[in-house]
């Protein structure tokens, strides 16, 4: 499996401070894939959260 790691390049949405936030996360363009994994670190006292989509 080829793995590409990218860092967030942008956020458009709700300002910080709210409980329910919505917006768009932007990342650099990647090649073709059939799976996406989003890793979020240090959010609300949880060291790591992983979200996975099969596309």
Q: Who's near 26: CB < 8 A, 6+ residues apart?
A: 8, 9, 10, 11, 12
Give the separation between CA 21 and CA 1, rounded to whole angstroms.
33
The tens digit of pLDDT for each residue in 26-55 reads: 999 888 888 999 998 988 889 999 999 998
Residue spans of alpha helices (H) in 1-55: none
Judged against a pLDDT cut of 80, whether residue 18 lies above it is answered with no
Domain count along the chain: 1
Q: Please state, in angstroms and as integers, the Cα–Cα distance from residue 9 to each residue in 2, 6, 29, 46, following that order.
A: 22, 9, 10, 23
pLDDT above 90: percentage of residues in the chain: 44
Residue 14 lies in a domain: yes
Domain of residue 15 covers 10-54
Residue 28 lies in a domain: yes
Give me the pLDDT at residue 1, please: 60
Q: Rounded to two decimals, what is the model's pTM?
A: 0.67
Judged against a pLDDT cut of 90, whether residue 10 lies above it is answered with yes
Question: Looking at residues 16-24, what average pLDDT do you find?
Answer: 85
Give the separation between CA 42 and CA 31, rounded to whole angstroms.
28
Residue 3 lies in a domain: no
């Amino acid at each position: 499996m080829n793995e590409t790691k990218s860092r967030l390049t942008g956020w458009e949405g709700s300002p910080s401070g709210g409980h329910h936030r919505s917006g768009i996360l932007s990342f650099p363009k990647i090649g073709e894939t059939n799976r996406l994994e989003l890793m979020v670190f240090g959010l609300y006292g949880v060291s790591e959260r992983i979200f996975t989509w099969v596309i």
